[in-house]
Amino acid sequence: MKDADNLKDYRQVRQLAIRSLFEIVEQSSEGTVIVDKDARIVWMNERYAKRYGQPSAKAAVGQEVENVIPGSLMRQVAQTGEPILLDMLDTPNGPLVVMRLPIHDAAGKVIGAIGFALFDQLTRLAPLVTRFTQIQKELASTRSLLQARQAKYSFSHFIGTGARSLEVKRHARRAAGSESPVLLLGETGTGKELLAHAIHSASTRAHKPFVSVNCAAIPENLLEAEFFGTAPGAFTGADRKGRSGKLQLAEGGTLFLDEIGDMPLALQSKLLRVLQEKEYEPVGSNQMLRSDIRLIAATSLDLENAVADGRFRADLYYRLNVLPISVPPLRERLDDLPALCDAMLEDLGRGHFDLASDAMALLASHAWPGNIRELRNVLERCALLSDEPLLTATALRTAIGRFTPLPAGTTAAVIGEQDFYRARAAFERQLIEQSLAAHHGNVVEAAKQLGLGRSTLYKKMVALGIGAP
C-alpha cells in the first residue's frame, strides 16, 4: 500500500524511474562515464576504466575526458547541452556504440554530461541496420521508378515556327492548364507522343508519373490486366503477389494511351467508367480502387468513321473529344523543314553536316508519308553514308529510296507561303515537266530548250523526283 501511495507522487516516481534507468543502462552497458562542465571526469565505472588501461576508476577521476577516452565528444555535450543519442566511438579494442546526454541542475543549467558505451558488438545492430538498408533500397527503387515514368520532352522539342505548328503548340499549352482529356489526332510519325509528354511537363501534374501505353502493341487478352492490374493469383500464370496496372502506376499523374483507336470494345466501356466514376477493380479482385489520373489519348485513325462503323464507342469518343488537337503531317508544314533538319542533325551528333540548296529543294518536294520519323531516318542514313560535310540532293535521293512526290497541285497551292528553296524547287519542277511534255519526253531536246546539259538535266530530274520519260 505504501508503494502504491509512492507511485501517486510524481516527483517520487520520476526519481525512481531515473534511478532504475541509470542502474539498468549502467549495468548492461560496456561502460559509463560522468564529466563536469569542464569535461573533467567525476565518475567512471570499473569496466570502462579497465577498457582504457586505467589501474582503477578512481585513477581516472579529475582527468580531462580526452586524456582517458581519445576522440570523446563528452566536452561538446557538456558545453552545448545537446545530446548525442547514438554514435560510433573507435577504441583500440574495436568500435563502441555510445550515447551521450547532458546533466542539468535543479534550475535547468547544464552542469556536466553522462556517457554510456551501449555495446561493443555491432552484430546487435544487425536487425536495425538490415531494416534501414531495406528501406533505403525501397526508397531508391521508388525514386528510380518515378524518374523512369517522368516526361522526356517539353514544348521546346516540338520544332516549328510555321502557322500550323504554332497553332498546335498554342492549343497544347492551353490543354496543359486543364484537367480535361486531350485527344491528339494525326498520322503516324507526326509527333503526337512528343506533344503528350510536353502537355504533361507543362501541367500541374509534372512532378507525378507519366505512363504510356500503346494499345496496338499489347495482345487483346492481356490488355485488361495491363490497364487495371491483377489480384494475387487472379488467373493461371498470374503473379502470386498481384501486379499493379498502368492506372495505378499513373496515379496522380498522366496516362497516355497511344493508338486508342485499336482498343477492344469491351475495354473501352471499362475505360469510360474510369473516366466517369474515377474508380476501377483490378482483374480478379472485388476491391474498388479510386483513380486520379489525367488522360491523354492519341490515334492515327478517323474516330468518327470508326464510331459510324461500330468499331469505337460513341460515348467514349465524346468523352475523349473534349480538347482535340490535330497534328498536321510534315507535307503540310514544309516551312519547318530547315529548322527540323538542323535540330535533327544536331541531335544525331552530326551537326557538322550542312544541306545543299538542291538538297533542301528535294526534301521540300517529297510527300513524307512517314512524316517526321521518316525525315529523321533519311537524314541519319544520309549522314552515315556521306563522306562529305555537304549533303547533296543526290545523296538524299538515295537515302530516301522510294520517292513520293507531293500530290498534284499541292506545291502550286502553297507557293505563296513557302521559303526560297521550296519556291525554287517548285518552279524548277514545273519548268522541267513542261519542257519534257513539249518534247514528248525527249530529254536531249528538253535540255537544249532549257539551256542545260543532258547529264545536268538528269541529275535535276532525280533530285526533284521526276520520273524518266
Which residues lie closer than 8 Å to 454 by C-beta, 6 or more apart?
443, 444, 447
Domain presence at residue 242: yes
Radius of gyration of the chain (CA): 38
Which residue segment(s) compose the domain that 347 sits in? 332-464
Domain presence at residue 340: yes
2: its cell numbers: 505504501
Provide the whole-model pTM: 0.60
Please list the ranges in the chain whose pLDDT falls under 50.
Answer: 1, 4, 411-417
The number of domains in the chain is 3
Asked whether residue 111 falls in the same domain as residue 165, the answer is no
- Say what the pLDDT of residue 143 is: 54
Domain presence at residue 395: yes
Asked whether residue 185 falls in the same domain as residue 311, the answer is yes
Domain presence at residue 80: yes
Asked whether residue 95 falls in the same domain as residue 116, the answer is yes
Residue 264 burial by Cβ neighbours in a 10 Å radius (0-12, 13-18, 19+) = middle
Single out the residue in 328, 354, 377 at which a domain terminates: 328
- Say what the pLDDT of residue 195 is: 95
Domain presence at residue 170: yes
- Say what the pLDDT of residue 330 is: 93
Cα–Cα distance for residue pair 35/87, rounded to 1 Å: 18
- Say what the pLDDT of residue 385 is: 87
- Residue 30 belongs to a domain with what CATH number? 3.30.450.20
Domain presence at residue 259: yes
Domain presence at residue 318: yes
Bridge partners of 296?
182, 256
Residue 377 has a CB neighbour count (10 Å cut-off) of 16
Asked whether residue 226 falls in the same domain as residue 367, the answer is no
Single out the residue in 120, 139, 171 at which a domain terminates: 120
Asked whether residue 297 falls in the same domain as residue 336, the answer is no
Cα–Cα distance for residue pair 114/73, rounded to 1 Å: 11
What beta strand segments (E) does 105-224 contain?
A: 110-119, 182-185, 210-214
Bridge partners of 243?
230
Which residues lie closer than 8 Å to 325 by C-beta, 6 or more apart?
168, 171, 172, 175, 182, 183, 184, 185, 195
Asked whether residue 324 falls in the same domain as residue 341, the answer is no
Among 115, 145, 120, residue whose Cα is nearest residue 43: 115
Asked whether residue 167 falls in the same domain as residue 247, the answer is yes
180: its cell numbers: 480535361
Asked whether residue 276 falls in the same domain as residue 161, the answer is yes
- Say what the pLDDT of residue 85 is: 83
- Say what the pLDDT of residue 449 is: 83
256: its cell numbers: 497516355
- Say what the pLDDT of residue 335 is: 86
pLDDT digits (tens, 9 = 90+) for 213-264: 998 888 887 888 888 888 876 555 555 667 888 998 999 999 999 999 999 9
Single out the residue in 328, 345, 369 at which a domain terminates: 328
Asked whether residue 27 falls in the same domain as residue 82, the answer is yes
- Terminal C-alpha separation, the chain: 120
Q: Looking at beta carbons, which pairs linking 220-228 to residues 24 or more positions away fall under 8 Å?
A: 220/264, 223/263, 223/264, 223/267, 224/266, 224/267, 224/270, 224/283, 225/283, 227/267, 227/270, 227/271, 228/270, 228/280, 228/281, 228/282, 228/283
Residue 292 has a CB neighbour count (10 Å cut-off) of 13
Residue 388 has a CB neighbour count (10 Å cut-off) of 10
- Residue 203 belongs to a domain with what CATH number? 3.40.50.300
Domain presence at residue 101: yes
Asked whether residue 362 falls in the same domain as residue 238, the answer is no
Asked whether residue 305 falls in the same domain as residue 185, the answer is yes
- Say what the pLDDT of residue 80 is: 92
CB 336 within 8 A of CB 294: no
Asked whether residue 97 falls in the same domain as residue 69, the answer is yes
- Say what the pLDDT of residue 416 is: 43
